[in-house]
Structure 1
Amino acid sequence: MSFLTLDHLQKSYGPTKVVHDFSMNVEKGEFISFLGPSGCGKTTVLRMVAGFETPSAGRVMIGGQDVTRLRPNQRQIGMVFQAYALFPNLTVADNVGFGLKVAGVAKAERAGRVAEMLELIGLPQMGERYPYQLSGGQQQRVALARALAPRPRVLLLDEPLSALDAKIRVSLRNQIREIQQQLGITTIFVTHDQEEALSISDRIVVMHQGVADQTGTPRQIYNQPATDFVAGFVGTLNRFDADVVDAATGHVRIGRTDVLLNRPVKAGRITLAARPEGLVVGPHGIPAEVTGVEFLGSVQRLRARVGDKDVVLDRFNAPSVALPELNETIHISASDSTWLVLDAAG
Structure 2
Amino acid sequence: MSFLTISHLEKSFGPNRVVKDFNLTVDQGEFISLLGPSGCGKTTVLRMVAGFESPSAGQITIDGADVVRLRPNQRNIGMVFQAYALFPNLTVAQNVGFGLKVKGAPTKEIAARVEEMLSLIGLSELGNRYPFQLSGGQQQRVALARALAPKPQVLLLDEPLSALDAKVRVSLRNEIRAIQRELGITTIFVTHDQEEALSMSDRVVVMHQGIADQVGTPFEIYNRPATRFVAGFVGTLNTLEAKVLDPAIGRVDVAGTEILLHRALTGSNATLGLRPEMVSLGQGAHDTGLQGTITDVDFLGSVIRLRADVGGQSIAFDTFNTTQSSPPRIGEKVVLGLNATDLLVIGD
Q: Given the two structures, how large is their TM-score scaled by the length of structure 1? A: 0.96
Q: Does 1:156 align with 2:156?
A: yes
Give per-residue Cα distances to partners, 1:245-301, cap 9 Å, x unaligned.
Answer: 111221111121222212221230111110000112225722222122234454332
Q: Which residue of 2 is the match for residue 41 of structure 1?
A: 41
Q: What is the alpha-carbon distance in structure 1 between the residues aligned to residue 167 and residue 218 of structure 2? A: 22
Deviations 1:18-50 (A, max 9, x none): 111111110000000000000000001000100
The number of equivalent residue pairs is: 344
Q: How far is 1:85 from its partner?
A: 0.4
My pick for the range that moved more, 179-188 or 271-280, is: 271-280
In 1, the alpha carbon distance for the partners of 2:211 and 2:37 equals: 12
Relative to structure 1, is the Cα distance of residues 58 and 275 closer, same or farther in structure 2, using a 3 angstrom cutoff?
same
**Superposition deviation, residue 317 in structure 1:** 4.7
Question: Can you give the 5+ residue segments of structure 2 that lack an aligned partner in the other structure?
Answer: none
Confirm or deny that 1:338 pairs with 2:312.
Answer: no
Secondary structure of the corresponding residue to residue 267 of structure 2:
coil
In the other structure, the counterpart of 1:293 is 297
Give the match for residue 89 of structure 2.
Answer: 89
Deviation at residue 14 of structure 1 after TM alignment: 1.3
Question: Are the counterparts in 2 of residues 246 and 267 from structure 1 also a CA contact under 8 Å?
Answer: no
8 Å Cα contact 2:242-2:255 kept in structure 1: yes
- Give the AA of the match of 1:198: L
The equivalent of 1:278 in structure 2 is 278
**Kept in 1: contact 2:226–2:347 (CA 8 A):** no
Judging changes above 3 Å, is the alpha-carbon distance between structure 1 residues 173 and 112 closer, same or farther for their aligned structure 2 residues?
same
Decide which moves more: 191-200 or 10-19: 10-19
Aligned to 2:315: 311
- Name the residue aligned to 1:20: 20
Q: 1:311: how far off?
A: 2.2
1:265 partner amino acid: L
3-state SS of the aligned residue for 1:262?
coil
Counterpart residue type for residue 66 of structure 2: D
CA deviation after TM superposition for structure 1 residue 331, in Å? 1.8
Match of 1:114 in 2: 114
- 2:249 alignment counterpart: 249
Alpha-carbon separation, structure 1, partners of 2:312 and 2:52: 48
Q: Which amino acid aligns with 1:122?
A: G
Map 1:142-291 to 2 at 5 A: 142-283=142-283, 285-291=289-295
The 1-side partners of 2:251 and 2:322 are apart by 33
Q: What is the aligned-residue identity percentage?
A: 65
CA distance in structure 1 between the partners assigned to 2:176 and 2:136 by the alignment: 15
Counterpart residue type for residue 101 of structure 1: K
Deviations 1:109-146 (A, max 9, x none): 11111111011011110100000010101100100000
Aligned match of 1:3: 3
Q: Which residue of structure 1 lines up, in the alignment, with residue 328 of structure 2?
A: 324
Q: Deviations over 1:191-235 (max 9, x none)?
A: 000000000100000000000000000000000000000000000
Residue 307 of structure 1: how far off its partner (Å): 4.1
TM-score (norm 2): 0.95
Q: CA deviation at 1:318?
A: 5.2
> AA paired with 2:204?
I
- The answer (yes or no) to whether the contact 1:156–1:187 under 8 Å persists in 2 is yes
**Which amino acid in the other structure matches residue 103 of structure 1?**
K
SS of 2:23's equivalent in the other structure is: strand
Distance 1:232 1:318 in 2: 30
